[in-house]
């Protein structure tokens, strides 16, 4: 029996590297398809929502043709969801970057700009070591657990109103960066598994097989 994995393409960022990493991580019997079709999303067994770019554009494009609503339907039905970068940020209610734009609201809270400072570059770009919180998460354990180095590229990060949803953080200057969030069937990372070498492939493999 084939497991269908939909990589949701809403036109934000280079998704092909995510598709390639998922296919590299996938065992036999897992089919990875890049799609912008709500029907294909509804037919999927797992969803991956990547993306890089602006919160407002992401919210607008997901609102087109019912694509975002099909994603929410699957999330509410218990379908495993993995968000990456903007795919994490869009789970929140709003963003400081885009006043008035509305995210999925799956998690309460906002997406705020990282604070710069002497010697602290924004965007936060490069490798950083995870610190696990709230008991961690099986996908993070598969990646290597605490102190695992993963790759970031971002200027904004989630600030949840519900601290228990934060599963990992990293420190960047004065910023305690939300690196991963999860509740029930929904898990998302601010870092890029597809750019995080062996740790990222291990995380993706666990998502595809758990």
Active site residue 39: no
Active site residue 194: yes
- Report the 10 Å Cβ neighbour count for 210: 10
Catalytic pick from 137, 157, 172, 192?
192
Catalytic pick from 124, 137, 172, 194?
194
Give 61's Cβ-side CA count (13 Å radius).
Answer: 20
- Do 4 and 80 meet the contact criterion of CB atoms below 8 Å apart? no
Q: Which of 143, 139, 176 is nearest to 160 (CA)?
A: 176
How far is residue 63 from each of residues 51, 101, 155, measured CA to CA in Å?
Answer: 15, 11, 24
Strands 81-84 and 186-189: parallel
Q: Which of 11, 12, 7, 65 is nearest to 38 (CA)?
A: 65
Catalytic pick from 31, 85, 124, 154?
85
- Do 134 and 164 meet the contact criterion of CB atoms below 8 Å apart? yes
Active site residue 131: no
Distance CA 145, CA 147 (A): 7
Distance CA 164, CA 181 (A): 9
* Residues recognised as catalytic: 85, 192, 194
């Amino acid at each position: 029996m084939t497991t269908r994995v939909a990589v949701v393409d809403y036109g934000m960022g280079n998704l092909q590297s995510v598709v390639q990493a998922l296919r590299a991580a996938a065992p036999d019997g897992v089919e990875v398809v890049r799609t912008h079709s709500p029907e294909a999303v509804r037919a999927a067994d797992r969803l991956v929502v990547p993306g890089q770019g602006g919160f407002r554009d992401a919210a607008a494009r997901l609102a087109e043709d019912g694509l975002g609503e099909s994603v929410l339907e699957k999330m509410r039905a218990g379908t495993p969801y993995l968000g990456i970068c903007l795919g994490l940020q869009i789970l929140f209610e709003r963003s400081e970057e885009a006043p008035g734009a509305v995210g999925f609201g799956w998690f309460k809270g906002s997406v705020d700009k990282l604070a710069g400072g002497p010697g602290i570059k924004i965007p936060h770009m490069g490798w950083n070591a995870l610190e696990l919180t709230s008991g961690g998460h099986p996908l993070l354990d598969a990646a290597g657990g605490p102190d695992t180095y993963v790759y970031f590229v971002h200027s904004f990060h989630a600030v949840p109103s519900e601290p228990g949803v934060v599963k990992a953080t990293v420190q960047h200057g004065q910023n305690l960066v939300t690196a991963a969030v999860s509740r029930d069937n929904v898990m998302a990372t601010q870092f890029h598994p597809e750019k995080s070498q062996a740790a990222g492939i291990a995380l993706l493999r666990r998502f595809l097989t758990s």
